[in-house]
Amino acid sequence: MRVATLLLAALAAQSLAEPMIYLKEEFADGGKQQSMRFRQKAKGPGREGYTGEVHRRDAWEKRWIESKHRSDYGKFILHAGKFYGDSEKDKGIQTSQDAKFYARSIRFEEFNNEGQTLVIQFTVKHEQNIDCGGGYIKLFPANLNQEDMSGNSPYYIMFGPDICGPETKKVHVIFSYKGENHLIKKDIRCKDDEYTHLYTLIVHFNNTYEVKIDNEKVEFGSLEDDWDLLPPKTIKDPNAEKPEDWDDREKINDPDDVKPKDWDKPESIPDPDAKKPTDWDDEMDGEWEPPMIQNPEYKGEWKAHQINNPNFKGNWVHPEIDNPEYKPDSNICQYDNIGILGLDLWQVKSGTIFDNFLITNDAKYAEEYGNQTWGITKIAEKKMKQLQEKEMKAQKEEKAEIEEEGKEEKEGDMEMDTHKYEL
Ligand SMILES: *[C@@H]1O[C@H](CO)[C@@H](O)[C@H](O)[C@H]1NC(C)=O
Ligand SMILES: *[C@@H]1O[C@H](CO)[C@@H](O)[C@H](O)[C@H]1NC(C)=O
């Protein structure tokens, strides 16, 4: 009996500790291969000569609804990119057309993050060496009309990297609070290289947060301090005023120091040593004037000697009072019906790959999942890229060598030609 109770208690504790996974998207159910297979079948016996492409939407396309808010959204394709750690596992959705807006979103069972940790995590790879474009996600309420998602759709959280030129290279963390969007006041730099990076936002229910990049903490703090979500706790006392006789001058002119009577002298004077040239013709050359020189007696602007102000009272500090508008809120970033994750972006140079989306209530699990996805393929990805760069360099050198040889041969031929002439 006791054993059974203990066992039950243990089971209950275990199930409590089980992470809740609201969304996990790795695009593991593939894309093109599926349609290729379908095409082969279509070409099978009895259907010889069939050449038309069989259109079959990839599985992910059914999950990621494209917005129809605009008619010219760029196309996401399922792709592992030019280099990768694993040709299958690294497949994610890639922006494929330059200078386009992108808008797709995925729905999951709605939940409420009250009293729980909220973790949002995904990988971003700007393999195109991005110049300007978003790499962030938006978390929406479940009542969003996905087919009409746009920049105007109200969201709960926006999180992820944003790059535009050399100036903007930041990780956005925007929270909606009472219908208004609030940007983080801290500057978090994002990665701007061509490799895959893991971005994680953790919001704890005690109103603290963490941002991690590649499973390393890059920023953390309190929601109240790092966003202007709530009105300030204290304000300047509107009834306090700086007294009129408040002297906040630390130094003053020495009253005993007076300007000497002979101080003011012109800055430049006619050169006393200059002589009118003997061949000067007043009629032809005009009236002769000696050149001006710096006056050696010129002392510049007179300034009184500075002394400590005996009446100095220090800088006046406006007294603060408790802000009557301030009310603490223990549920700053608690949202009722989280239900959709969207990519609503603008990209100038396309090629960004998004993958390994995870929304959970367990930061430890997210870290582990990051290790098992990004953590496993990142080394091989880097190796492949470096190998490609090495090959490209070798090819370039080879091409240059061939060109060089070609030139020499031509010169040799020309020499032979001249010989022929001589013969
Ligand atoms: C908030 O909660 C997190 C997760 O439980 C914990 O690590 C952190 O120390 C807490 N912070 C404060 C200020 O209580
Ligand atoms: C993730 O990987 C890092 C580096 O290998 C390791 O230190 C950390 O413990 C791992 N985390 C989890 C939850 O497995």
Q: What secondary structure, in 3-state letters, does 40-95 show?
A: HHHCCCCCCCCCCCCCCCCHHHHHEEECCCCCCCCCEEEECCCCCCCCCCCCEEEE
Ligand 1 atom 5: the closest Cα is on which residue? 204
Residue 171 lies in a domain: yes
As for ligand 2, residues whose beta carbon falls within 6 Å of it are 215, 364, 367-368, 371, 375
Supply the pLDDT for residue 278: 87
Provide φ and ψ at 96, rounded to 5°: -120, 0
362 is in an annotated binding site: no
Let me know if residue 414 belongs to a domain. no
Q: Any known ligand binding at 382?
A: no
| Residue 415, both tokens | 């020499």
304 falls within a domain:
no
Which atom of ligand 2 lies at the shortest distance from residue 365's CA? 13
Q: Is 208 in the pocket of ligand 1 (CB under 6 A)?
A: yes
CB-count exposure of residue 239 (10 Å: 0-12, 13-18, 19+): exposed
Residue in 368, 373, 376 to alter for ligand 2 test, most ligand atoms within 8 A of Cβ: 368
Is the CB of 204 inside a 6 Å radius of any atom of ligand 1? yes
| C-beta pairs of 289-292 under 8 Å, 24+ apart in sequence | 292/268
Residue 90 CA to residue 52 CA, distance in Å, equals: 30
How many angstroms does the Cα of residue 19 sit away from the middle of ligand 2? 17
**Amino acid at the residue 368:** E
Nearest-atom index, ligand 1, CA of 222: 13
* β-pair type (208-213, 216-222): antiparallel
Question: Mind listing the pLDDT tens digit of every residue in the chain (423 residues)?
Answer: 455 555 555 555 555 578 999 999 999 986 554 444 444 444 444 444 444 444 456 889 999 999 999 999 999 999 999 999 999 999 999 999 999 999 999 999 999 999 999 999 999 999 999 999 999 999 999 999 999 999 999 999 999 999 999 999 999 999 999 999 999 999 999 999 999 999 999 999 999 999 999 999 999 999 999 999 999 999 999 999 999 999 999 999 999 999 988 898 899 999 989 888 888 888 888 888 999 999 998 988 899 999 999 999 999 999 999 999 999 998 899 999 999 999 999 999 999 999 999 999 999 999 999 999 999 999 999 999 999 999 999 999 999 988 888 877 776 666 555 455 444
What is the pLDDT, as a whole number, of residue 44? 47
Cβ proximity of 361 and 174 under 8 Å: no
Beta-sheet strands, E only, within 153-279: 157-164, 168-177, 180-183, 196-203, 208-213, 216-222, 234-236, 251-253, 268-270
Question: Structural domain tally of the chain?
Answer: 1
SS3 248: coil
Range(s) of the domain holding residue 225? 18-232+331-386
Tokens of 205: 């229910």
Q: Can you give the pLDDT at residue 46?
A: 45
- Counting from 1 in the atom list of ligand 2, the atom nearest the Cα of 364 is 13
Strand partners, 234: 322
Domain for residue 416, yes or no?
no
Domain assignment of residue 250, yes or no: no
68, 86 contact by CB (below 8 A)? no
pTM of the model: 0.75
Per-residue pLDDT at 31: 56
CA distance 269 to 310: 42
Ligand nearest to the CA of 365: 2
Domain for residue 301, yes or no?
no
Both tokens of residue 218? 């890059």
User: Does 138 count as an annotated binding residue?
Assistant: yes
Rounded Cα gap, residues 29 and 281, in angstroms: 100
CA-proximal residue: ligand 2, atom 1 (nearest): 371
271 is in an annotated binding site: no
At residue 416, the pLDDT reads: 55
Task: State residue 53's pLDDT score.
Answer: 44
Residue of 198, 371, 378 to mutate, ligand 2, most atoms within 8 A of C-beta: 371
373 alpha carbon – ligand 2 mean position (Å): 12
In sequence order, what are the beta bridge partners of 345?
102
Q: Is the CB of 116 under 6 A from ligand 1?
A: no
Note whether 165 and 132 are within 8 A (CB).
yes
Rounded CA-CA distance 56/38 in Å is 8
For residue 260, the CA-to-ligand 2 centroid distance in Å is 77
Tell me phi and psi for residue 410, to 5 degrees.
-60, -45
Phi, psi of 374 (to 5 degrees): -55, -40
**Secondary structure (3-state) at 405:** helix
Tokens standing for residue 102: 């992108």
Residues for the chain: how many in total? 423
Ligand 1 atom, smallest distance to 204 CA: 2
**374 located within any domain:** yes
Give the containing element (helix H, strand E) for 24.
strand 21-25
SS3 294: strand
Residue 229 near residue 223, CB atoms below 8 Å: yes
User: What are the counts of helices (DSSP H) followed by strands (DSSP E) for the chain?
Assistant: 7, 22
Nearest CA-CA partner of 276 in 291, 265, 261, 263: 291
CATH number at 136 reads 2.60.120.200
Atom of ligand 2 nearest to the CA of 370: 1
pLDDT of residue 415: 57
**β-pair partners for 182:** 175
Instruction: Return the ligand number nearest the Cα of 205.
Output: 1
Amino acid at position 323, single letter: N
Q: Is residue 396 part of a domain?
A: no
Whole-number pLDDT of residue 16:
58
What pLDDT is recorded for position 417? 53
Q: Which of 206, 223, 361, 362 to mutate to test the pocket of ligand 1 (most atoms within 8 A of CB)?
A: 206
Which residue's alpha carbon is nearest to atom 9 within ligand 2?
A: 368
CB 64 within 8 A of CB 93: yes
Cβ atoms of residues 132 and 171 within 8 Å: no
* Interatomic CA distance for residues 47 and 43, integer angstroms: 5
Distance CA 354, CA 327 (A): 39
Question: H-helix or E-strand containing 363?
Answer: helix 363-372
Q: Is 344 annotated as a binding residue?
A: yes
How far apart are alpha carbons 195 and 372 in whole angstroms?
17
3-state secondary structure of 406: helix
